[in-house]
């Protein structure tokens, strides 16, 4: 049977989780039409950084989380910083691809996690539903990454630069396989929904509206813009704003229920405290911007260089000019900084975890 459940409430979900992706697409297209290139890069930076701040508060500002994951919260960032420094010096393009892959996985897991919350709130799904949902996200996202021209040109360029044997027929076959996998898994997923209904379990239709809205953004922008920055603006607006809303909602509900010990997090939530939470995000973004106030290529201390890539005629891949290289580098700097954010979220936001459920 069908039963609706919401992350926040019908009204707030409509704004932040169901309607926001469509607004983000319109905004990105507006940026493409009316804003200069550097302004688009700056907006991407300003959207991304404040949501990292929310993650730090959620991880390091809650004493119960700190006590539970202390070793991970200390050792993990040290290892990640060392990895990033070495990557920037010896293999910046490879670092970009690795970090981008983790960023994509992080994006998939955030939308999957929000979908899990929809099922949790409605008491929906079978025991196996979360696995079917996760594979659905992976198949949908992988299809976009392999087929959308913006992403396809990236991985073809890098494999060509690494002198990996790559023929047009192989790429065409790979894309054909991805289409077969997509259609095949959609059929499998529909069978799972039918089995869920036959078992008398609940199906939350709002979750599927949310999934559709999320992938509408990713698919539309990936196929209708040529700039990785413009794609990132739309993606970051959806991803970052939804994350900030989710963190604040989690902390507010936790304070109302009294389920966690007080700490920095509790000083930023509750009646009249939202402005301090938002002000902290703005201040954090300002400080980060001051650190990298010089051009991004100077921030690489001269050891990072994106030389223009030549055209690859057999694949129809155009040459990469300086502007495109700068776009990739700016994304790498933002993504590399976000590695710790991806790492922390991999263990503090499990919906199946009883501690996490206290704040939902």
State pLDDT tens for residues 31-49.
777 776 666 666 666 777 8
Q: What pLDDT, in 10s, does the model give residues 126-149?
A: 999 999 999 999 999 999 989 988
- Please classify residue 155 by burial: count the beta carbons closer than 10 Å to its beta carbon, then call 0-12 exposed, 13-18 middle and 19+ buried: middle
For residue 298, the model assigns a pLDDT of: 41
pLDDT over 60 (residue 293): no
Confidence class of residue 302 from pLDDT cuts 50, 70 and 90?
very low
Which element (helix H / strand E) includes 68?
helix 63-68
Rounded distance between C-alpha atoms, residue 37 and residue 226, angstroms: 13
Q: Which two tokens stand for residue 247?
A: 């963190």
Rounded distance between C-alpha atoms, residue 144 and residue 298, angstroms: 33
Q: Where are the domains of the chain?
A: 10-357
What's the DSSP call for residue 3? -
Which element (helix H / strand E) includes 223?
helix 205-224
For residue 185, the model assigns a pLDDT of: 98
First to last CA, the chain: 23
Let me know: does 325 contact 47? Beta carbons within 8 Å: no
Nearest to 95 by CA among 339, 269, 277: 339
pTM: 0.81
Indicate the SS3 state at residue 2.
Answer: strand
Rounded distance between C-alpha atoms, residue 339 and residue 350, angstroms: 18
Task: Quote the crossing angle between the two packed helices 92-122 and 205-224, to the nearest 10°.
Answer: 160
For residue 22, the model assigns a pLDDT of: 95
For residue 350, the model assigns a pLDDT of: 74
The region of weakest confidence among 137-146, 226-235, 301-310 is: 301-310
Confidence class of residue 321 from pLDDT cuts 50, 70 and 90?
low
What's the DSSP call for residue 350? -
């Amino acid at each position: 049977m069908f039963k609706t459940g919401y992350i926040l409430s019908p009204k707030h979900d409509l704004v932040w989780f169901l309607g926001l992706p469509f607004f983000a697409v319109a905004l990105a297209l507006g940026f493409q039409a009316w804003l200069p290139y550097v302004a688009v890069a700056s907006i991407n930076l300003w959207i991304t950084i404040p949501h990292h701040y929310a993650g730090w508060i959620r991880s390091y500002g809650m004493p119960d989380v700190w006590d539970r994951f202390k070793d991970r919260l200390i050792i993990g960032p040290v290892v990640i910083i060392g990895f990033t420094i070495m990557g920037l010096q010896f293999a910046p393009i490879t670092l970009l691809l690795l970090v981008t892959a983790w960023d994509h996985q992080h994006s998939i897991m955030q939308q999957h996690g929000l979908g899990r919350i929809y099922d949790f709130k409605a008491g929906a799904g079978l025991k196996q539903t979360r696995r079917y949902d996760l594979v659905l996200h992976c198949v949908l996202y992988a299809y976009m990454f392999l087929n959308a021209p913006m992403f396809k040109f990236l991985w073809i360029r890098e494999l060509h630069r690494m002198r990996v044997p790559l023929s047009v027929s192989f790429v065409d076959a790979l894309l054909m396989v991805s289409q077969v996998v997509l259609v095949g898994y959609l059929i499998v997923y529909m069978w799972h929904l039918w089995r869920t209904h036959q078992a008398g379990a609940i199906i939350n239709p709002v979750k599927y509206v949310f999934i559709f809205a999320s992938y509408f953004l990713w698919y539309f922008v990936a196929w209708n813009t040529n700039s990785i920055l413009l794609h990132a603006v739309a993606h970051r607006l959806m991803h970052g704003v939804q994350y900030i809303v989710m963190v604040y909602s989690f902390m507010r509900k936790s304070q109302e229920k009294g389920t966690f010990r007080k700490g920095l997090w509790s000083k930023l939530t509750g009646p009249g405290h939202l402005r301090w939470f938002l002000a902290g995000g703005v201040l954090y973004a300002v400080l980060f911007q001051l650190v990298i106030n010089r051009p991004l290529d100077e921030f690489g201390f001269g050891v990072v260089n994106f030389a223009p890539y030549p055209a690859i005629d057999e694949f129809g891949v155009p040459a990469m000019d300086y502007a495109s290289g700068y776009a990739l580098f700016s994304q790498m700097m933002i993504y590399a900084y976000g590695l710790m954010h991806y790492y922390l979220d991999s263990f503090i936001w499990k919906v199946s975890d009883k501690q996490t459920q206290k704040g939902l």
